[in-house]
Amino acid sequence: MDWHEHYHTLRTLVVDDDPVVCHALAGALADAGLAAEPHMRGADALEAEGAPPVLAFVDVVMPDMDGLDLAARLREKWPGIELVFVSGAADSARVIRALQLGASDYLVKPYTPEALRLCLSRFHERLALRRRAALAERRYAALIQNVPLLIFRLREDLSLEFVNRAVQPMLGFSPEEATASDSWLSSRVRMKDRGRVRKVLAQAFASHYPLTVQCRMVHRRGFDVHGILKTMPRSPEPGANALDGVFMDISERIYLEHSRVMDEKLKTIGAISEEVAHEIRNPLMSIGGFARRLSAKAPDFPETEIILRESQRLEKLLERIKGYLNPMDVHSVPLSLGAVLAAALERLTPGLDEAAIAVQALFAPGLPEAMADPGLLDRVFTIMLQDAARALTSGGSLNIRTFATGESVCASFDYELRNLRDIDPERLYLPYEDGGFGLPNCYSMVQQMGGVMTMTREGGSAVFTVSLPRSGARLEAEPVWLPLA
């Protein structure tokens, strides 16, 4: 709203011990459209109730209270008030003191209508400038708070001085929670990346150039948020010891890059496998047939059984490769990933209980629907749960989470895996591997539904994550732990 529209509501004080001057000035201000209040004592002006005044005309010389002292007390009570001093003589010392107290203008008595008009004109200009500055500040604050980047300010001890609201959807913490802990930022960086991040931040504090580092932040729910942390150029002003920076979520890009790489690998595997299967199948069938004949004629020869067993194993491998590479009939529809997972859990709970496996599921309510084939997704979750049950020893624990990130809806399976250091995550998805109890098929099914399946090592555990395209808007809500008996 323009100031002209509500100018008459701007409360103005007139303080002068001369009643004629006081009421005359108040009347002139009222004629100009201001809500002017005459006061002949400084104490009366200070005790006046009502909305905060925006302007005060103060006589410099008054018997009960010096005008300069009154001005200081008015500014203390109403910090935003504008001060115009009124005096019978333009004493340079008083003018200087008035400016030191933050006076906006000075009016010499007896003032002329033209002088008052110019004084009010300058007030209008300052008022409009203040409102433009306030509007710009609000727009800047709205931009900082709503931009889809985590924007922060760090002290030299790496504690947060400020962080915007993007920290809530990106990492699951409110700005108040993040700034309350001195070590929050460091604790959120994945342990393997922490040393690099601290080194870059230390260099940024000693440099006036922007620095960038790619790292992973840990969401409150435990999953990784891949991103790029970039510091801003430091201010060259002396005493400027804070560091501004941003963190941009690139999880979706990482998943897509991984998907493209795996697609290329699968194409290579497909071409090689097709050629191998074609060249091997006929000789293999001949070898198996001759082995069976030899076994019938000479059952006492153990070498014949070995040949037969190995040829059968190779035949199964060829069938597995063929089934893995053949395109599936996929009918993706919007569905609740959590509902499909909960149904699979309910169906397999008796077996998990029998194996004394403790299952904890963190289902985030309000997740958007995922685009997936219900039957294929149920098979994926069934295989992964069975795989976890076989991999875990009696009394082990399985942690399951559902969450959304970027344009994906995800489910993760976190459990301790024996000989974790000897496992290559990518080899688990290849059809040639005997391990994994069906993980290659899971990867293939997820990939053909337009999703990505990944494995990461975290401490002594393996974390398998299924990411599927999301459908619909995200509904914000806090997750709830659902222990499964």
- Sketch the domain layout of the chain as residue ranges: 3-144, 147-249, 254-325, 333-484
Residue 91 pLDDT > 70, yes or no? no
Summarize pLDDT for 123-177 with one digit per residue, the tens: 988 888 888 988 888 888 888 888 889 999 999 888 999 999 999 888 889 999 9
> Tell me: domain 333-484, CATH 3.40.50.740, correct?
no
Point out the least confidently predicted range of 321-325, 374-378, 382-386, 427-431. 427-431
149 contacts: CB under 8 Å, gap ≥ 6:
164, 166, 246, 247, 248
Distance (Å, rounded) from C-alpha 419 to C-alpha 339? 33
pTM of the model: 0.54
Point out the least confidently predicted range of 103-117, 234-248, 319-333. 319-333
359 contacts: CB under 8 Å, gap ≥ 6:
345, 349, 352, 397, 398, 400, 483, 484
Q: Which CATH number fits domain 147-249: 3.40.50.720, 3.40.30.10, 3.40.50.620, 3.30.450.20?
A: 3.30.450.20
CA 293 vs CA 82, 248, 280, 309, 312: distances in Å? 109, 66, 20, 14, 14
Q: Which tokens hold the place of 351?
A: 């077996």
Summarize pLDDT for 380-408 with one digit per residue, the tens: 999 889 888 887 866 788 999 998 877 78
Q: Contact, 401 vs 411, CB < 8 A?
A: yes
Summarize pLDDT for 402-437 with one digit per residue, the tens: 988 777 899 999 887 665 554 555 555 555 444 444
> Tell me: domain 3-144, CATH 3.40.50.2300, correct?
yes
The confidence score (pLDDT) of residue 238 equals 60
Pick from 404, 398, 402: which is nearest to 359 by CA? 398
Q: Which helix (H) or strand (E) holds 267?
A: helix 251-297
